[in-house]
Amino acid sequence: MLENLKRSWRRFKAGSPGHRFQEQFSRRRASRRSHIQKVLFIGSGMLLIAVGLFFLFIPGPGLLILLLGASLIAQESLLVARALDWTEIRLRKLLIWSLRAWRRSSPALKILLVVLALVVVGAMGFGAFKFLLARNGFGPT
């Protein structure tokens, strides 16, 4: 099973950006899985998306879990596969633009952006901490 997972990942990674999720969908469709396996993939994907949404609001790998859940669903849904391929192209363009802007920025601006990012992450962590304390009866009444 682990070898199948590795092989599937290598094929996915070797696929061309903007088409790899649809190619994965086609491979999955051609393998003629049972209806139970399809339901398990979609159900697992939906569960991972729910967990990922939860982890977006507290420190954790929320985006990674969301992506994993969406990719499971994309193996059974052409619409989701197309949406992920479309999103991948736009995110790649945004990443390239961001890296170019970062390289052109002055050291002072880079320091300011890093400090700002740390403040935002700290504020989000503090807010999540306060929220969890209040939910468990430790907050002000």
For residue 112, name the pLDDT band (cuts at 50, 70, 90).
very high
C-alpha angle with apex 67: 88 to 122, nearest 5 degrees? 105
pTM, whole model, 2 decimals?
0.68
First-to-final CA distance of the chain? 52
Q: From CA 72, how far away is CA 80, in angstroms rounded? A: 10
Longest dimension (CA), the chain: 58
Q: Residue 59: pLDDT above 90?
A: no
Q: With cut-offs at 50, 70 and 90, classify the pLDDT of residue 113.
A: very high
In the prediction, which pLDDT does 79 show?
Answer: 92
